[in-house]
Amino acid sequence: MDSYETRQRYWGRSLIGWPVMRNAAPNPSHHHISDLELLNHSSLVVTQNVDRLHQKAGTRAVTDLHGRADEVICMSCDYRCPRDEVHDRCADLNPGFQHYKAETAPDGDADLEVDFSDFRPAGCPKCDGILKPDVVFFGDYVPRTGCIRRWMCSRPAMACW
């Protein structure tokens, strides 16, 4: 995300991919895992998924090991907001990108190959810093937030990846 060109491409493709991910519904497995929590057969779900489908299914105790795609953070300050706000700002800044259609991926990306050089990514409204989804990208480290310790100390727990 340090590269402006990378951000143009990421947020440009996200204009198409994010609504699909945002509107995804939990499948029967997510609901089954939620039922296990209700029956006290699971006290914590640890997941690498960033889609929040466990929470949508009703599971309350979830550690999102790789973050959550529905929130955006600033890489320079403590700004955080719902991804929909950044999505709407990017849409407003780039009306020419609204008409594109492409295959979407489960991670909010879209298979869109166009010229992104005119795309204007939204910046942090607080400090004009770089915004990114609150997820662990490939090559990033999982933040040390105590989630692993909670996971190891909690029984029964369920890991979903």
Which CB, 32 or 126, lies closer to Zn ion?
A: 126
Cβ 144 to Zn ion, closest distance in Å?
A: 22
Check: CB of residue 22 under 8 Å from CB of residue 16. no
- CB of 76 or CB of 154, closer to Zn ion: 76
Of 30, 31, 66, 99, which one is the catalytic site residue? 66
Our measurement of the distance from residue 79's CA atom to the centroid of its chain's CA atoms, rounded to an integer in Å, reads: 16
Tell me the closest approach of the beta carbon of residue 25 to Zn ion, in angstroms.
Answer: 33
Query: Please, are residues 88 and 122 in contact by the beta-carbon 8 Å criterion?
Result: no
Buried b (16+ CB within 10 A) or exposed e, 101-133: eeebeeebbbebeeebeebebbbbeeeeebbbb
Q: Is the CB of 78 or the CB of 115 nearer to Zn ion?
A: 78
- The answer for 98, left when phi > 0, alpha when psi is -120 to 50, beta otherwise, is alpha
Of residues 17-36, which lie at the interface with Zn ion (CB under 5 A)?
A: none
Residues 68-97 close enough to bind Zn ion by CB under 5 A: 74, 76-77, 79
| 43 vs 76, beta carbon nearer Zn ion | 76
Q: What angle do CA 10, 11, 16 make, to 5 degrees?
A: 100
**Full DSSP string of 52-69:** -HHHHTT---EEETTEEE
Binding of Zn ion by 131 (CB under 5 A): no
What is the C-alpha to C-alpha distance for residues 145 and 148, in angstroms, rounded to an integer? 8
# chain residues binding Zn ion, by CB under 5 A: 8
Task: Please confirm, yes or no, whether 31 is among the known catalytic residues.
Answer: no
In angstroms, give the least distance from the CB of 143 to Zn ion: 18
Catalytic residues: 66
Which residues of this chain interact with Zn ion, rule CB under 5 A? 74, 76-77, 79, 124, 126-127, 129
